[in-house]
Amino acid sequence: MTRLTGDALRLTVFIGENDTWHRRPLSTEIVHRAHAAGLAGASVFHGIEGFGASSRIHTSRLLSLSEDLPVAIVVVDTEERIRAFLPELDELVTEGLVVLDECHVIQYTGRAPNQAEPDAKGKKSL
């Protein structure tokens, strides 16, 4: 697992949910390639409404237009690793938008398995 704290680069890829790569959802392909590239993490977010280059609004509120809703794939890692991953996107994304943002990461991690947990009065029990 990659641990990341400090300055980073956020890569956001905006596509449609109907976009595919060899009959597989494009968002899935991007996440799997990011994982294979050893990037720190990736998440896919489904939108409920949006529009892109076609200027056609896609929304989940109207059944007739509930096709091809927006999807955002967010990947965060060091600038060097994100920039090294961009050629993968050049191969995969034929229509969409890619945004790069500088960010600062604060990663919270879970407690070590053998670390004592405080009880209701703040005392640590073993």
Contact between 107 and 4 under an 8 Å Cβ cutoff? The reply is yes
- Is the pTM higher than 0.85? The answer reads no
DSSP E strand stretches across 41-82: 42-46, 49-50, 58-59, 70-77
CATH of the domain at 81: 3.30.70.120
The secondary structure element, H or E, covering residue 64 is none
Degrees, nearest 5: CA angle 52-46-14 = 35
Residue 17 scores a pLDDT above 70: yes
Provide the domain count of the chain: 1
User: Rounded to whole angstroms, how far apart are CA atoms 13 and 28?
Assistant: 12
At residue 121, the 3 state secondary structure works out as coil
In a domain, 51, yes or no: yes
In a domain, 30, yes or no: yes
The per-residue pLDDT for 1 is 55
- Give the structural domain span for 96: 6-108
Give per-residue pLDDT as tens, 34-80.
Answer: 999 999 999 999 988 777 777 677 776 656 556 778 999 999 999 99
